[in-house]
Amino acid sequence: MKRNFIVDEEINLNENDLLNTKKYATTLSKIVLNSPLNNVFTIGLFGGWGSGKSSITKTVQTELEQLDKLKIKFIKYDAWKYANDSFRRMLLLQIQESLKFTQPD
79 and 53, same structural domain? no
97 and 55, same structural domain? no
50 and 21, same structural domain? yes
Report how far residue 80's alpha carbon sits from residue 51's, in angstroms, rounded to the nearest whole number.
16
Q: What are phi and psi of 91, to 5 degrees?
A: -65, -45
What's the number of domains the chain is made of? 2
68 and 39, same structural domain? yes
91 and 62, same structural domain? no
CB 49 within 8 A of CB 60: no
Contact residues for 72 (Cβ-Cβ < 8 A; gap 6+): 32, 64, 65
Alpha helix stretches (DSSP H) within the chain: 22-33, 53-65, 87-98
pLDDT at 85: 80
94 and 58, same structural domain? no
Report how far residue 2's alpha carbon sits from residue 68's, in angstroms, rounded to the nearest whole number.
46
pLDDT tens digits along 18-68: 778 889 999 999 988 888 777 777 788 888 887 888 889 888 988 888 886
3-state secondary structure of 63: helix
Q: What is each CA distance from 1 to 4, 6, 104, in whole angstroms? A: 10, 17, 60
- pTM value? 0.68
